[in-house]
Amino acid sequence: MTRLLTVGVMLAVAGCAAPTPEPVDVSVKSAALADRFQADLQGQLQAAMKADGPVGAIGVCQQAAPAIAARLSQESGAEVRRIALRERNPGAAPDGELRERLEQLAAAPLTADGKPAVMQWTSGSGAGARAHYMRAIPMKEQPCAACHGSNIAPEVKGRLAELYPDDKATGFKPGDLRGAIAIRWPLASETR
């Protein structure tokens, strides 16, 4: 009888325990991180453009973008970064499979409804397994063309040459793939 009561109490307590949260889909978490990255960077870029024009915005991309990526990476447990086939910052150059995927994304950086295209895949196995999310950063006419287009003002060209002597990120037309936000999750922490 005592054994039966003990089992009954254990079942009753187990029934009152908080439900296990449903795992959050990596694509949902990745999209939210990409949205945060873009919103934060765009807000800072717009403020710099308003205050100091395109020359001031260059510093935001150089300083703020990596800081935003680092903060989001630390908060989420994912690796968040910007990448590009024609990079301004050498640290944004993708390699291996990431380069191949970015080249595929370059063929169609926008969806049929005009939104940035997204790619998702997994790689590796065991402890090295990763979930990848990549969202296109299509070139916009403004304000992007001021620093990434074909008709760049001399003072902007001069500042770019100072900060990025090996710059490859100019000559883009609206709709071209300017780069991508790349997010990589260790699969073991997929449901964090």
C-alpha 168/C-alpha 38 separation (Å) is 21
Token pair of 7 as six digits: 């089992």
Q: In this structure, are residues 86 and 191 in contact, taking their beta carbons and an 8 Å threshold?
A: no
Say which residues have a Cβ less than 8 Å from residue 96's Cβ, sequence separation at least 6: none
Q: Which of 107, 93, 106, 96 is nearest to 130 (CA)?
A: 96
**What is the pLDDT, as a whole number, of residue 16?**
46
Residue whose pair of structure tokens reads 């403020």 in the numeric block: 47
**What is the pLDDT, as a whole number, of residue 21?**
40
In the chain, which residues have pLDDT < 50?
1-23, 189-192
181, β-bridge pairs: 82, 135
Domain extents in the chain: 25-189
Which fold does the domain 25-189 belong to in CATH? Beta-Lactamase (3.30.450)
**What is the pLDDT, as a whole number, of residue 19?**
44
**What is the pLDDT, as a whole number, of residue 78?**
96
C-alpha 179/C-alpha 109 separation (Å) is 9
**What is the pLDDT, as a whole number, of residue 24?**
54
Task: State the Cα torsion 25-30-35-36 to the nearest 10°.
Answer: 110
Q: How many CB atoms lie within 10 A of CB 160?
A: 21
C-alpha 133/C-alpha 143 separation (Å) is 26
